[in-house]
Amino acid sequence: MPLAIATWNINSVRLRAGLVERFLQEHQPDILCLQEIKCMNDQFPAGVFRDLGYEYQAVHGQKGYHGVATVSKRPLFEIASTDYVAKGDTRHVETCFSAGGKTLRLHNFYVPAGGDEPDPAINPKFDHKLRFIDEMKVLASVTSGVPSILVGDLNIAPYENDVWSHRQLLKIVSHTPVETNGLLDVLSAGDWRDLIRQRIPLDEKVYTWWSYRAKDWATSNRGRRLDHIWAAPELAGKLRSIEIVTEARGWERASDHVPVIARFDLD
């Protein structure tokens, strides 16, 4: 069986624990990375995941906001987090696990959304986002011989066909040139491979997020690709498939993001 890693901004893990349970039962990833869990560590529904076989957990929560968690059927070790921009937010957790006879590192990120005004001089949230992305540029896809996978809600849609209208969103936070160029600099500086775009050509539209503001998200289909899976070159070469679980956006009380699953031929 291939190694399967999934990422999902769940927008409150306690509110949507049932949806996560459904997803895990239907898709059975080895590892699931969640963002915006919106709870403290001791409020995380750990038992739900253990009952489903996800015994190993790395949770970095925060009261009411942010928060990331990685749950796994495989043992996790060397669990750590980095406080980007030194704000005390819980937006990153990293772990190691074994696959294919070697150690791999896994980064789980929730990059700041950045507010509504794309001007760091008047919008502290946008300034925070740009500084967060700038600090990510030192993150290499291979460290001390250990190849890495990076997943999460990066809150930036970098390419023209990662949004429903490139022209209309150029001045909208998540697709402004300063953000998209910054994220592509992170990708290049760390020698990462964008696995979704490795499988889906740049001339095809692809989305992972649809706003709650749309009365009928499926009909309007005004989405953005905010959720990402990147990998070191040697792992990208072993990618078997990418799946965007679009139907999850239509589940009852759904998150505005949908899960993305990468499967690798490693075991």
**What are the tokens at 41?**
């560590």
**Structural domains of the chain ordered from first start:** 3-264 (3.60.10.10)
Note the pLDDT of residue 2.
Answer: 85
pLDDT score of 203? 97
For residue 10, give the nearest of 26, 32, 43, 40 by alpha carbon. 32
Provide the pLDDT for residue 1: 63
Predicted model pTM: 0.97
CA distance 5 to 82: 21
- The alpha helices in 171-226, defined as continuous H runs, are 177-189, 195-199, 217-220
In three state form, how does the secondary structure of 128-167 look?
A: HHHHHHHHHCCCCCEECCEEEEEEEECCCCCCHHHECCHH
Which one, of 92, 97, 87, 91, lies nearest residue 107 by Cα?
A: 92
Percent of the chain as helix, strand, coil, to the nearest 5: 30, 30, 45
Q: Give, to the nearest 10 degrees, the angle between helix 124-136 and helix 177-189.
A: 20
pLDDT value of position 27:
98
In tens digits, the chain (267 residues) has pLDDT values of 689 999 999 999 999 999 999 999 999 999 999 999 999 999 999 999 999 999 999 999 999 899 999 999 999 999 999 999 999 999 999 999 999 999 999 999 999 999 999 999 999 999 999 999 999 999 999 999 999 999 999 999 999 999 999 999 999 999 999 999 999 999 999 999 999 999 999 999 999 999 999 889 999 999 999 999 999 999 999 999 999 999 999 999 999 999 999 999 987
Which positions ≥6 away from 117 have C-beta within 8 Å?
123, 126, 173
| Residue type at position 73 | K
